[in-house]
A and B are shown apart, each in its own frame.
Chain A
Amino acid sequence: MTKRTTSRTPVLSFTDKGIYCAAADAFIDPWRPVDRALITHGHADHARPGHGAYLCTEAAAPVIRHRLGNVKIETVPFGQAVAMGGAQLSYHPAGHVPGSAQIRVEVGGEVWVASGDYKVAADGLSEPFEPVSCHAFISECTFGLPVFTWDPQPTVMAEINRWWAACAAAGKTAVIGAYSLGKAQRVLANVDTTIGPILTHSAVEATNKVLRAQGIALPETTQLTAEMSAKSHPGALVIVPPSALDAAWTRRFKPVETAFASGWMRLRGIRRRRAADRGFVLSDHADWPDLNNAIKESGAERVFVTHGYTSIFRRWLESQGYNAAIVETEYGDEAPEAEEDAEAALLPDASDNPPEPSGAGA
């Protein structure tokens, strides 16, 4: 297995199947079936079916099992080194969703880190992001433009609380669209539960169940059923996947006010086009200052940028003295949770070939 590793082989290389570690003969978040996959987190564009074996963190495993069914998964605690072939692997918190990791790969003293998706600011739910020193850093840049800066979470949660309370006071049902793995639980974990009852869409509740079973504390929720209405649950907050925001069930909860929680809500045009009543700027990706800080703190000389405003961000990094390159990946599509990424495809910077809309049935 180690025969392919020579001193000239890069620690990680970029193939049409995914990010490849020759020394370990394993792929990081591959998008085509491979024998051995190193998985950063459970979102469907990163953890895909069909691989021979999966390695992920203990905290990420339950969701991946839940989603992929009977696959061969091995787990590793955060920070613990694993030898695989000629490589030393370890997983470090990425702060994106519970269990999400950056994967550190060390071969012959050279260290590369693949970030997966990450956010630096603590969210009260995920294991907080941990900077990892490295020679080369593979960074996402979903929000790699200086217009994307996030207010601190308490500020945004206070806005959400005020909105919910105002809805409840006005006899309206507050319906918030949030991705069913991560954002939904982040809202749940931080919202003021004294305002009223919290109802959840089945897709959200399924994830809640998995996370609760692994010991993550979430406030009490009730799954939506066909019998429920504004009458049975006045003043409720309903958490649904974004694709279910304007679905037929909302009629039973009239009058409703809808909101959408996403980093894209930072832009007024997208906010308006979403046609929700409110947009809350709450993202599980790093904003512009945090992307820059994370890259700086990694100490890396070489930076590879993936999914997002890659060409602009690379040019910026080069102007800041980094050796930067773009890596084409296939992250940011297919998964309902990946809508923050999918949305980018509709923006002027992206190609004319965005992925098909996802989660239509949710």
Chain B
Amino acid sequence: MTGSSGFALFAQLFVSLDQTTSTTLKVQALADYFGTAPPADRVWTIALLSGRRPRRTVTTTQLRNWAAQCAGLPLWLVEEAYPVVGDLAETIALILPAPSDMVQPTPSTPADAPITTLATMQNGAQSLGPTADLADWIVMLRGLSQADDKTRHQCVLQAWQTLGTTERFVFNKLITGGFRMGVSQKLMTRALAAATAIPEVDLALRLMGHWDPAEVDFETLVLAPDPQANLSRPYPFYLATQLDAPPQELGDPADWVAEWKWDGIRGQIVYRGGTAFIWSRGEELITDRFPDLTEMLDLLPDGTVLDGEILAWQHTHKRPTNPPKQAELPLGDVPLAPATEPAVQAARIPGLAGQPQPFAQLQKRITRKSVSKKLLQEVPAHFLAYDLLEIQGDDIRTQPLAQRRASLEQILQTLPADAPISASPLVQANTWDGLADQRQQARGYQAEGLMLKHRNSPYQDGRKKGDWWKWKLDPLSIDAVMIYAQAGHGRRANLFTDFTFAVADETGALQPFTKAYSGLTDAEFRKITAWVRKNTLERYGPVRKVRPELVFEIAFEGIQRSPRHKSGIALRFPRMARWRQDKPASEANTLADLTDLLSAFEQ
């Protein structure tokens, strides 16, 4: 109905993305969109697809009420329909009648205060018609945060009257603040690269950091970025791949740098223009949560970017009177590690004047937006730097690691001994066996294993195989998606405890490859059971096919080919090492990862 408006184009994009499960087609639809949409809309689309969603300016209660009123339905009926649809924005879009059939709100009595009009509210802007663009609608929505309820009501009604069903749905998604399009930032960046012929890596860098889509134009953000424009900008993280072969295959150990793989938050500290910014790997700016990390940064040269791990810390020089609490294990929990594991406090890590604490401690710091003095004392943070990416404003990511490491140690030397930042110590050994022995210490150090990095490796972008390897304690593990669940027996009756796991093949189809029954706590099983009940797709006797959404880290001791199994693969002692609540199914491992492990193991 509004074929050429920017908003109609955006709604069409939404439909195209929704109508396919193919990554290629999604990227193509996005790339086409980036080639044709109005420039301001492109910026907003980039913002929406990189987690920069507008805040909700109207309450869901208001929306429900107004929608019921427009549709001439009682509120209770709308509320009954909502859980069936599972999405308020969609529910409303589905019940709203054609604009001509919409029930007009009863006119207010003459005694009422004059209605604020859109025009006066928006500082002279015209009310939005069918030709409005995505940017216009979002600006209108953002403006509602300053408006009174009557204006909000009026604006929303006007939108519903103007828009078709799909556009209404997209508008409702925008207004409820829950906008997702099933496209990762990575895919969006790839599409943008296709549309602009700018390398994906460059775009990833340009799109990071703080920028306000209302204030930046497409030209500045994407096409002609000024490298000085955004001091806060971190570099895209370089991610390591799990080692799937004996390390001996990596060649001469002298070519490799080994360091501890810490169990904290991977982060970058950006210090430019006298200001510090701390970024998590998820590209979240977390400076405010770690004021203790930025204390002595002014001793570093301006234009420094460090890559490292944020850890909860215990200083060895001033032991607290009360020993820090261990992560609480619920009773009945079966620890995967042997009970004879060395106590955390006991191990002194060579090259460190302190002791990393379990991740559970660090969690106290990240769950809060601002941190109290008390918490800062209770759980001090420390940054163990792995790498130096920028020095005196120069991007040195293409330098060999050994050279970057030397510079890193050099600049960190200038910091006092009690500084909250230090270089993560290297693990020294002349042979792989020597490193393997050291690696056995990892658990005692609160580390997950070793990192092996080629001494000549540049700092790359994303997960690139070959130069950086995780050599974790668990010999083999894979993140897999749960696809079937079955209730257990005996004390596990009525609990779903037996799961079948799958990984995606090259077409994206999930291929089951193992079952696992153990490794989780009863509390976790209870939580998963409730989830399974709500997310059953089909039943086959006692087995339920569930939505392929939950990701688990499956640990196992061996892998071999097996003609008896449908997948052609048999695992030895598979168990659930962890419920990866932090990972969507799209980030689980793939069948290719699994077969890589298999061929490595066969040698």
Chain A residues within CB distance 8 Å of chain B? 145-149, 266-269, 271-273, 275, 277-278, 309, 312, 315-316, 319, 346-349, 352, 354, 356-357, 360
Contacts and interface: CB of A to CB of B under 8 A. Distances in A.
A356 B95 contact: no
A319 B85 contact: no
Contacts of B378: none
Contact of A269 (B21, B71, B87): B87
A253 to B, nearest CB: 14
A346 B77 contact: no
A309 B77 contact: no
Given A145-B81, A266-B94, A277 B539 contact: no
Contacts of A348: 83-84, 86, 534
Given A273-B537, A357-B540, A145 B90 contact: no
22 contacts: A145-B80, A145-B81, A146-B71, A147-B84, A267-B84, A268-B18, A268-B87, A268-B90, A269-B86, A269-B87, A272-B18, A275-B21, A277-B20, A277-B21, A278-B19, A309-B80, A309-B84, A348-B84, A354-B536, A354-B539, A356-B540, A357-B540
Given A354-B539, A357-B539, 8 more contacts: A268-B87, A269-B86, A272-B18, A278-B19, A315-B76, A348-B84, A349-B84, A356-B540
A316 B77 contact: yes
A170 B83 CA distance: 38
Contacts of A277: 19-22
B124 interface: no
Given A146-B77, A146-B95, A269 B85 contact: yes
Contacts of A349: 80, 83-84
Contacts of A269: 85-87
Contact of A356 (B81, B91, B537, B539): B539
Given A147-B95, A278-B19, A357 B85 contact: no
Contacts of A271: 18
Given A147-B91, A278-B19, A347 B537 contact: no
Nearest to A355: B539
Contacts of B76: 315
Contact of B85 (A147, A273, A315): A147
A278 B90 CA distance: 18
B85 A267 contact: yes
B348 interface: no
Cβ-closest 7 pairs across A and B: A147-B94, A348-B83, A357-B538, A269-B86, A312-B80, A146-B95, A145-B81
Interface in B388-444: none
Residue among A147, A271, A315, A354 with the highest chain B CB neighbour number at 10 A = A147
Contact of A346 (B21, B73, B537, B541): B537
A90 to B, nearest CB: 35
Contacts of B533: 352
B547 interface: yes
B466 interface: no
B502 to A, nearest CB: 13
Nearest to B22: A277
Interface in B13-36: 18-22
Nearest to B82: A147
Contacts of B547: 273
Contacts of A268: 18, 85, 87, 90
B74 interface: yes
Contact of A267 (B21, B22, B90): B90
Residue among A268, A271, A275, A316 with the highest chain B CB neighbour number at 10 A = A268
A7 to B, nearest CB: 38
A346 B80 CA distance: 16
A357 B543 CA distance: 11
A309 B81 CA distance: 10
A271 to B, nearest CB: 8
Contacts of A316: 74, 77
A88 B18 CA distance: 52
Contacts of B77: 145-146, 312, 315-316
Interface string B60-90: 0000000000010110111011011111001
A146 B81 contact: yes
A145 B77 CA distance: 8
B281 to A, nearest CB: 28
Interface string B538-580: 1111000001000000000000000000000000000000000
B537 to A, nearest CB: 6
Nearest to A319: B74
Residue among A146, A149, A309 with the highest chain B CB neighbour number at 10 A = A146
A152 to B, nearest CB: 13
